[in-house]
Structure formats: C-alpha cells, structure tokens
C-alpha cells in the first residue's frame, strides 16, 4: 500500500479510479490548462460552416503561434553547430556557405513535417511511435534517441562550461561550469510553472543575445560582403574541405529536435476536429518556423564569415576550437568596441544554456512519449538531466579541452548523434505519409519523394562520417569486430523501419504466419 501511495505521489493526475478512461492516463505533451489560447475574438471558437477554408491571415494570430519554432531553431545554434561553423570558416573560407544554406533548407523541411505531424494528429512523434511500432521497436527507438540526447548534451554543457570559464577569467574550472550549467534545469522548471509564453520569452532573449553578440563580432571583423554572396550562390567543394562539409550537414539535423518540434506545437489550443483550424495552425507554424530558421541561419553565417575573414589560410586554421577561438579573435582584433573575447563567450554561453535547457525539454517528451510515463515535471526533468550531466561531469574531470583526446571524443559524439538520425527521420516520414494517421493532411507524392531523397542523402553523409571515424580512430581487431556486429544489427533495424509499411513486408508476414 505504501508503494502504491508513493507511485501516486510521483504521478501527476494519479488516483482517478478504475472507471477512469484510458486516455486519462495517456501521457500528453501539455495539459489543457497549460496550452495557449489562439482565439482573438468570439467567432474564432465557432465553426464557420466551411471547415476546409483557412481563416484569413492575422498578424495577431501569427504572434500567438510564435514560440515553438524559435525553441526548435536553438538546435541549429548549439555549441556543436558553432564549432562546425568556425572550423568551416577557418578551413574553407567562404566556400561552404552554400552548403550551410542548403543544409538549413533540408533541416527546415524535416522540422515542418514534424510540426505538421503534431498539429494534424494532436500527438507528438514519440507518442505515435509507441502506437505504431511493436514494443521491442519502440524501446529500441527510445534508447537510440536517448543516446543522441546524451551525446548532444555533453557537447552543449561543455560549450557552456567553456564560456563560463572564459568569462570568469579561468577562475571557474570546467567541472565548475558543468555544475552551474546543470542547475539550469531549475530555471527551466521555474519558468515553466509560469506558463509556456514566459518560457518562450526566456528563449527569445537567449536567441537575441546570440544574434547581437555574433552580429557585433561581424561588425568588428568586417568580412567581405562580395565573398559572402559568392559563397552562398556558387557551390565549391574540394578534397581538403570534405571533413568540414560533412560536419556542417551532419550537425544541422538533430534527432531529438525532430521529436521536440512535434511536441512543442501541442502548446496551442487547436480544435483538431475542424479542418480549417488545423490548416490555420499548419500555415502559421510554417511561417513561424521559417522565420526562426532565417534567424538561426543569419547567426551561423555571422560565425562562419568572421572566422573565414580572420583565420582562413592562417596557421591557426587547423587548431581552432570553441575554447581557443575567443583568444585567437582577441589577439587578432583586440578591443575595438568591447573585448571580442567576451563577446564570443557571451554568445557561446547563450548558445550552451539555451540548447541544454531545450535538451532537457526534449528529453521529457521523449521519455514520456515512448514509455507513456506521467511523471511530475520536476521528476522527469531531473531524470533527463541526470542522463547527460553524469557523463558530462566525467568528461570535464578527466579531459582537458585543449587535449587532442578531446577532439577524438568530440568526433565520437558527432558519430553517436549521426547514427541516430535514421531513427528520427524514417518514422517521421513514414507517419506523415500514412493517410490513416494524417487524414487529409497526409503529405503529397512530391513532398514524400523529396523527403526520402533528403533522408537518404543525410544517411549517406553520416555514413561517410562513421566510416571515416572507424578507419582513423578505431584500433584493435576485437573492437573492430564488435563494431561490425553492431553495424549489422544497426543496418537491419533501419531496413526494418523502411520496409515495415510496404506490401513486401505484409506478404512476408502473411507467408510466415501460414507456414507450419
């Protein structure tokens, strides 16, 4: 009896009795009371008699829908992306800006599909995966997504800790910065208690801080506008910049961010029984998401071009990273307006803090959706935070950020996240292509083909990254043999996810059930 009482004290909404409906105990991204009302007049809550007709555009409604896209775009601005930007600029100059632009476009496509899925179904991707796939596959997808979250969070927390170390003049060691960053989940919980809009406003401030910081850096270093435009419209790629190119594409799509966006759009009150309201929500979320990604693209452009102007062709180009980037900038550009070292650190801190908090947010949805856990918010946030902070603290205590081993660790973490991409994108495309799930909002054949092309392209890019890491950094026959076995299982699971909803799979299952 005591254990039952404890369980009910941990569960939000427990104790409903045996007669409660099944849906009452289904995990949901947001409770009804937490959702933001969209209606701006009494007529907004009424059926206008033309459910297939989207209401006319309204700036006030766009403002009410604004928020989820900006939380989503933070994954395009995390410390891993910033490091990819600065290394691409230092190693390739302005040559890879076109790739950064098209990588952002590909990322935007997947995020728009994620938002569409969430709006049309009223459920997020993790919930739908739990309903669509058998238990063993659901658990495997959850484990893969959690691994991707841990890998991303280690880099994000380390990036934030580096910024704190710089701003403190080296007084706060790396592990101290990790502890400080770990406490940000309490900021998240505090703001979440005051409503979704307060939380979104907090992230807007962090994004604005990044935009201002890196725009000031851009203004102080004065990159070439002509070279910038040429880099955007003229594709260039050489054998010397393949690694940076793969890094740009590989870090744009974050597996956990695909799950996150489908949950964030649940924060608005939308009547999914009225087609016009769903059309309206999809329309405004598309606009808001594109605007948010334009902001993130601007910030990434600033970082890339600053380091292209300052370090392309220099002896520092091959050794530049998050920690020494600010010092290199300081030595080259000094203190024309404000010490550029601290401008860099402030932008990096905003990037690290915002991405670690959204990682915690994503972890709650992923855990709750896949496992159908209705834990209290504070408990779920603490569990999610612990998954990442414990390994991050180990990294901070035993690795020096300037040690070559840290570079190998970063590459391993990039590979860890890259191999999880199919387990977010394949279920996403599969679900938005099913009329039984999406109804009239199922994607068309052209969108479906383009989505699969982008997914296959990203899988090939990340396959190159995995192969490169395997060849250069994996040593020992036993380790290589073990990884080969893991790779076979990995590829088999990907094939299963792809063919599961095909007629071939149905015929195979039918023939197996008929066999004695």
Give the mean pLDDT of 44-48. Answer: 53
**Residue 169: which region, alpha, beta or left (left: phi > 0; alpha: psi -120 to 50)?**
left
In this predicted structure, what is the pLDDT of residue 21? 39
- Select, from the ranges 4-13, 14-23, 267-276, 290-299, the one with the highest average predicted confidence (pLDDT): 290-299
Q: What is the mean pLDDT of residues 98-117?
A: 94
The DSSP H or E segment spanning 429 is: helix 422-432
Average pLDDT over residues 2-11: 40
pLDDT above 80 (res 305): yes
Q: What is the mean pLDDT of residues 466-491?
A: 79
CB distance 196 to 32 below 8 Å: no
> Higher confidence at residue 358 or residue 25?
358
Residue 268, in any domain of the structure:
yes
In this prediction, residue 254 carries a pLDDT of: 84
Q: How confident is the model at residue 13 (pLDDT cuts 50, 70, 90)?
A: very low
Across 402-419, average pLDDT: 67
Most confident residue range from 109-123, 228-242, 334-348: 109-123
- pLDDT tier at 331, thresholds 50, 70, 90: confident
- Number of domains making up the chain: 1
Which DSSP category does 21 fall into?
-
pLDDT above 50: residue 4: no
The pLDDT score that the predictor gives to residue 255 is 86
DSSP string of 35-104, one letter each residue: SBP--SSGGGGS--S-TTSPPPP-HHHHHHH-SHHHHHHGGGGSHHHHHHHHHHHHHHTTTTHHHHHHHH
Q: Regarding predicted confidence, which is higher, 313 or 214?
A: 214
User: Would you say 296 and 62 are in contact if contact means Cβ atoms under 8 Å apart?
Assistant: no
- The pTM is what? 0.86
Mean residue pLDDT of the chain comes to: 81
Crossing angle (nearest 10°) for helices 242-250 and 404-418: 50
pLDDT at position 363 is 85
Which CATH number covers residue 257? 1.10.4160.10
Q: Is 67 inside any structural domain? A: yes
pLDDT (0 to 100) of residue 44: 60
Q: Which residue has the tokens 């998954």?
A: 387
Is the pLDDT assigned to residue 322 strictly greater than 70? yes
In this structure, is residue 20 part of a structural domain?
no
* Mean pLDDT, residues 71-94 taken together: 89
Whether residue 446 lies inside any domain: the answer is: no
| Structural domain for 366, as ranges | 58-420
* Residue 491: CB atoms within 10 Å: 12
Is 496 part of any domain? no
119 pLDDT tier (thresholds 50, 70, 90):
very high
Query: DSSP letter at 443?
Result: P
Which of 45-59, 162-176, 275-289 is most confident? Answer: 275-289
pLDDT bracket for residue 335 (50, 70, 90): low
Q: What is the pLDDT of residue 106?
A: 92
User: In 459-479, which positions are buried (b, 16+ CB within 10 angstroms) versus exposed (e)?
Assistant: bebbebbbeebeeeeeeeeee
Q: Is residue 68's pLDDT more than 90?
A: yes
* Confidence tier at 506 by pLDDT (50, 70, 90): low
Tell me what the mean pLDDT of segment 81-106 comes to.
90
Helix or strand (DSSP H, E) at 224? none
Cα gap 411→414, rounded to integer Å: 5
Residue 17 has pLDDT above 70, yes or no: no
Burial of 123 (0-12, 13-18, 19+ CB in 10 A): buried
Helices 445-473 and 242-250 sit at what angle, rounded to 10 degrees? 130
Please check the confidence at residue 165 and state whether its pLDDT lies above 70: yes
Give the relative orientation of helices 322-333 and 340-371 as an angle to the nearest 10 degrees: 160
Mean pLDDT lowest among 68-72, 410-414, 497-501? 410-414
Does residue 148 lie within any of the structural domains?
yes
Question: Average pLDDT, stretch 141-168?
Answer: 87
Q: Give me the pLDDT at residue 293, please.
A: 95
Residue 238 reports pLDDT greater than 90: no
In a domain, 184, yes or no: yes
pLDDT of amino acid 20 = 37
Q: Which range in 47-56, 358-367, 380-389 is most confidently predicted, on average pLDDT? A: 358-367
Where would I find the beta strands (DSSP E) of 381-469?
Answer: none
- Residues near 434 by Cβ (< 8 Å), separated by ≥ 6? 442, 501
pLDDT mean over 158-169: 88
441 assigned to some structural domain? no
């Amino acid at each position: 009896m005591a254990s039952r009482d404890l369980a009910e004290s941990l569960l939000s909404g427990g104790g409903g009795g045996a007669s409660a409906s099944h849906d009452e105990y289904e995990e949901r991204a947001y409770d009804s009371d937490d959702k933001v009302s969209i209606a701006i007049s009494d007529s907004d809550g009424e059926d206008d008699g033309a459910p297939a007709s989207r209401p006319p555009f309204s700036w006030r409604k766009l403002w009410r829908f604004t928020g989820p896209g900006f939380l989503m775009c933070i994954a395009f601005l995390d410390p891993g992306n910033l490091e990819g930007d600065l290394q691409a600029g230092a190693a390739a100059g302005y040559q890879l800006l076109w790739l950064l632009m098209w990588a952002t476009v590909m990322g935007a496509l997947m995020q728009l599909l994620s938002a569409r899925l969430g709006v049309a179904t009223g459920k997020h991707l993790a919930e739908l995966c739990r309903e669509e796939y058998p238990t063993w596959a659901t658990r495997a997808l959850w484990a893969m997504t959690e691994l991707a979250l841990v890998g991303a969070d280690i880099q994000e927390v380390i990036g934030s800790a580096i910024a704190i170390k710089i701003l403190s003049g080296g007084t706060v060691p790396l592990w101290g910065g990790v502890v400080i960053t770990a406490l940000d989940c309490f900021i998240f919980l505090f703001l979440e208690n005051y409503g979704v809009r307060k939380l979104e406003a907090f992230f807007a401030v962090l994004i604005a801080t990044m935009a201002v910081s890196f725009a000031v850096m851009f203004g102080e270093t004065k990159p070439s506008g002509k070279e910038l435009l040429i880099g955007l419209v003229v594709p260039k790629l050489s054998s010397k910049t393949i690694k940076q190119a793969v890094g740009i594409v590989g870090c744009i799509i974050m597996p956990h961010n695909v799950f996150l966006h489908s949950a964030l759009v649940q924060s608005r009150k939308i009547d999914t029984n009225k087609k016009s309201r769903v059309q309206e929500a999809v329309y405004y979320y598309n606009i808001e998401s594109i605007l948010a990604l334009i902001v993130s693209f601007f910030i990434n452009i600033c970082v890339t071009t600053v380091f292209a102007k300052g370090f392309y062709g220099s002896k520092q180009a091959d050794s530049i990273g998050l920690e020494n980037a600010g010092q290199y900038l300081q030595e080259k550009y000094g203190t024309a307006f404000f010490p550029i070292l601290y401008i860099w650190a402030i932008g990096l801190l905003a990037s690290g803090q915002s991405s670690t908090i959204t990682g915690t947010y994503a972890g709650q949805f992923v855990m709750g959706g896949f496992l159908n856990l209705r834990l209290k918010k504070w408990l779920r946030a603490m569990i999610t935070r612990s998954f990442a902070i414990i390994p991050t603290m180990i990294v901070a205590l035993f690795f020096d950020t300037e040690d070559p081993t840290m570079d190998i660790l970063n590459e391993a973490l990039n590979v860890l996240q890259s191999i999880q991409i199919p387990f977010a994108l394949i279920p996403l495309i599969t679900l938005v292509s099913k009329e039984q799930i999406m109804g009239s909002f199922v994607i068309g054949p052209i969108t479906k083909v383009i989505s699969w092309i982008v997914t296959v392209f990203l899988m090939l890019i990340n396959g190159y990254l995995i192969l490169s890491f395997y060849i250069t950094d994996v040593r020992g026959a036993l380790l290589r043999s073990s990884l080969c076995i893991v790779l076979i299982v990995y590829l088999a699971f990907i094939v299963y996810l792809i063919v599961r909803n095909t007629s071939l799979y149905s015929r195979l299952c039918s023939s197996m059930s008929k066999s004695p």
